[in-house]
Structure 1
């Protein structure tokens, strides 16, 4: 892996990416000046062998996360992860609903999952998991579409690791097909709703949601399905005494809905318990939420110490992890670590401790509990002006399989909301 600091710059590139949908390219910086999210010019280049290795290791990480999910449920660790008790039954049900083999624990249902993103540290060796954005990962359209157009329009590199769009279309077809088999009572034509939080005024959540809706439209409309957008605030419910079902603003029943809205936020909403009571319908005449509740086990930093407990002594797979512990179990020898809240975003409330001294502490709205993950500084790539950039690789997992790569880089050691998206190539000759 190398960083090409001075690649081609397309004339009018700001207008190009805005026309392609990336309307959230500017973020106010600490000094009030806008910080550009998209990097035009620099890019990262990989060998084909590196991409093949990343693909293989991402497959292994996913298998490890599946083992961790089993371990969490079999050992009663949902409370340790801060997951509310009223959700536990449906976390377990949606986890086991695809367990259909001999001795499987499925109840004859199916809970679709479309995507997730591993964020990893990578220096050319084996990737090391920093976290699993398994519930509401963003940066999807810039990974799947914007950087692909960049690759085509600049003709840099032989290829790009990017099958995200095609894999999403396939994932919608497979998952909704499986869902209809599991729930034959679903109406025809069936509407798949898509929702996000209207409070986000940057347009990022909306663009990510609309992009996913477009991939579903391409996949499902030829098969007779419909897609429909609504805001989370427009979701309504019937009388709890007679009808727990959910409806959109047009009073159309919501049978299946993708929500770019974290489960931990939903759990605090006024209809949270009604939502999980609805999912408990024994006949499954209930709303299907994508991503499913079991993603609360993966989109939680508590996954990291569980993985280390399971695989820290595994010589074949321990290199994919960094030692991690719940804060109250941190061993005395771990004196250099990153302290992360179980539920946090964009680097908020993250601290870096080196040799027992706190060297960085980000503020934010998230509280504990916390996990402590061994500190391994991100690789550093200086540019021609002497600035130092630290990339985090986002490996997209579509329908449980590695499908592509998106890279964010930051000027500091923590990837935050002022980081930049940087495109990539394979086998650039320059």
Structure 2
């Protein structure tokens, strides 16, 4: 793994990105005023095939570990420790159990499709040890079109690598087909044709959430349109939510019942909305045609930094798996020996409210709107790659998981040790022809 600082710069790269939908390219505020380019044109990271194999195998193992961690949380009713409201517990269990059966053949679960997620890992190549999990963006990960589309066209147009780890688009199409086929089997009441709604937050004004949602809607259209499914975009604030106890349902502005909806909107935000209890009550009623939400409620188990100490509790002594993790504890249980660590809020995003403590001294602390509880994860500095023009860059590798399978790689790098909303997206190659 190496950072190549002086790659080909396409003369029309900004226009290329805009034509591919990356309209939020210049949204990073510059420290001295103005804006910076979110996309890095020129620099890129190059990997050997063996390194990509390691990343893929490690991600597959991490996913298995996260499944075990989810079982542990559900079996031990640890929802309160993760800050999950009680009215959501039963439906998290039902979607987690999926279509498992109890003795006698009765269904325990409630199948709800899951399409995607992203592991953010620390990695510096095959001579620096295995990838280590920083967090699992399991519910609402973005930077998907950059990874799936923009960097693929970049490689084709610049010719700077023999290959790229990028089967994201094809696997999304296959994932929609597989999951909706299972959903039709589980929910025989669904009308034909089924309309899948797609929604995001109108208040996010950069266009990033909107385009990520539209891209996922396009992959669903490619997958399901030939099978008679329809897709329809709405804003989250356009969802009508009546009194579920009185028999009302969720509907869109045209009065159409929402049968299935993908929402790029975090479950913890939904749990704080006025209609939250109605949403979970609607899902849990087996007598009526309830709305199916994608991603499913069980993602609240994984899109929570509390997953990190659970994983360490389960696998911290496992000689085959502990190297994929960094020691992590809930702040209330942090051992005395841990004096260098990263303090993260359970439900923080974009690097907000994160502190880096080294030898008991706070070195960096970011502002934000997220409060506690917090988890403490051992501090392991991100690898530093020095740019010939000056400064070090620190990459976080985002391994995309599509329907539970490793699918590709997207990289964000930052000038500091905390990857926040000032980070840049940088493309990658496999076996760059210059080496």
Q: What's the TM-score, normalizing by structure 2? A: 0.97
Q: CA deviation at 1:100?
A: 5.2
Output the CA distance in 2 between the equivalents of 1:340 and 1:6.
35
**Matches of residues 243-262 of structure 1 in structure 2 within 5 Å?**
243-262=247-266
Indicate whether 1:91 and 2:95 are aligned.
no
SS of residue in 2 equivalent to 1:409? strand
Between the aligned partners of 1:170 and 1:103, the Cα distance in structure 2 is 33
- Structure 1 counterpart SS, 2:114: coil
Residue 118 of structure 1 aligns with which residue?
Answer: 119
| Counterpart secondary structure, 1:408 | strand
Q: Following the alignment from structure 1 to structure 2, what is the Cα–Cα distance between the partners of residues 244 and 278?
A: 9
Change (3 A) 1:334 1:103: farther
Match status 1:176 vs 2:177: no
Corresponding residue for residue 406 of structure 1: 410
Deviations 1:375-399 (A, max 9, x none): 0000000011121000000000000
Q: Is the 8 A contact 2:100 2:109 kept in 1?
A: no
Q: Which residue of 1 aligns with 2:158?
A: 154
SS in 1 for 2:80: coil
Q: Aligned pair in 2 of structure 1 residues 108, 356: CA closer, same or farther (>3 Å)?
A: closer
Aligned to 2:5: 5
Task: Name the structure 2 match of 1:424.
Answer: 428
CA contact under 8 A between 2:244 and 2:281: conserved in structure 1?
A: no
TM-superposed CA distance for 1:336, in Å, is 0.1
Partners of 2:65 and 2:148 in 1: how far apart? 25
Distance 1:59 1:213 in 2: 26
Cα shift at 1:240 = 3.6
**1 CA distance for matches of 2:369 and 2:178?**
38
Uncovered stretches (5+) of structure 2, i.e. residues with no partner: none
Query: Would you say the 8 A contact 2:398–2:409 is kept in 1?
Result: yes
CA gap 1:241/1:59 in 2 versus in 1, 3 angstroms: closer
CA gap 1:122/1:106 in 2 versus in 1, 3 angstroms: farther
Contact 1:156 1:428 in 2 (8 A): yes
CA deviation after TM superposition for structure 1 residue 78, in Å: 0.7
Aligned: 1:35 with 2:46: no
Query: Of 287, 291, 297, which residue of structure 2 is paired with 1:293?
Result: 297
Question: Does the 8 A contact of 1:326 with 1:371 survive in 2?
Answer: yes
CA distance in 1, matches of 2:45, 2:302: 28
Residue in 2 that maps onto 1:234: 238
Return 237-246 or 137-146, whichever deviates more: 237-246
- Structure 1 Cα separation of the partners of residues 247 and 240 of structure 2: 11
Query: In 1, are the aligned partners of 2:97 and 2:109 still within 8 Å (CA)?
Result: no
CA distance in 2, matches of 1:349, 1:192: 35
Deviations 1:383-423 (A, max 9, x none): 11121000000000000000000000000000000100000
Specify whether residues 104 and 298 from structure 1 end up closer, same or farther in structure 2 by C-alpha distance, changes over 3 A only: farther
Matched, 1:338 2:342: yes
Taking a change above 3 Å as real, the CA distance of residues 66 and 410 of structure 1, as seen in their structure-2 partners, is same
Question: Aligned to 1:80, what secondary structure does the other structure show?
Answer: helix
**CA–CA separation in structure 2 for the residues paired with 1:144 and 1:190:** 26
Distance 1:399 1:349 in 2: 31
Aligned partners of 2:193, 2:169: CA distance in 1, in Å?
24
Cα RMSD for the two superposed structures: 1.3
CA–CA distance in structure 2, aligned partners of residues 99 and 64 of structure 1: 19
SS at match of 1:63: helix
Q: Against the structure 1 CA distance between its residues 256 and 359, is the aligned structure 2 distance closer, same or farther, given a 3 Å change threshold?
A: same
Q: Summarize the Cα distance change of 1:105–1:417 in structure 2 as closer, same or farther, 3 Å threshold.
A: farther
- Structure-2 change in CA distance of 1:104 and 1:301 (3 Å): farther
2:361 paired residue among 353, 357, 363: 357
Which residue is 1:204 aligned to?
A: 208
C-alpha distance in structure 1 between counterparts of 2:407 and 2:102, whole Å = 26
Q: Which residue in 1 is equivalent to 2:312?
A: 308
CA offset digits 1:246-281 (Å, max 9, x no partner)? 000000000000000000000111100000010111
Please report how far the alpha carbon of residue 104 of structure 1 lies from its aligned counterpart in structure 2 after TM superposition.
Answer: 8.3
Alignment partners' CA distance in 1, 2:106 and 2:415:
47
Structure-1 residue corresponding to 2:23: 23
Query: How far is the alpha carbon of 1:239 from its aligned partner?
Result: 3.9
Q: In 2, distance between residues paired with 1:367 and 1:147? A: 35
How far apart, in 2, do the equivalents of 1:404 and 1:94 lie? Answer: 26
Give 2:398's aligned residue: 394
Q: CA deviation at 1:111?
A: 1.0
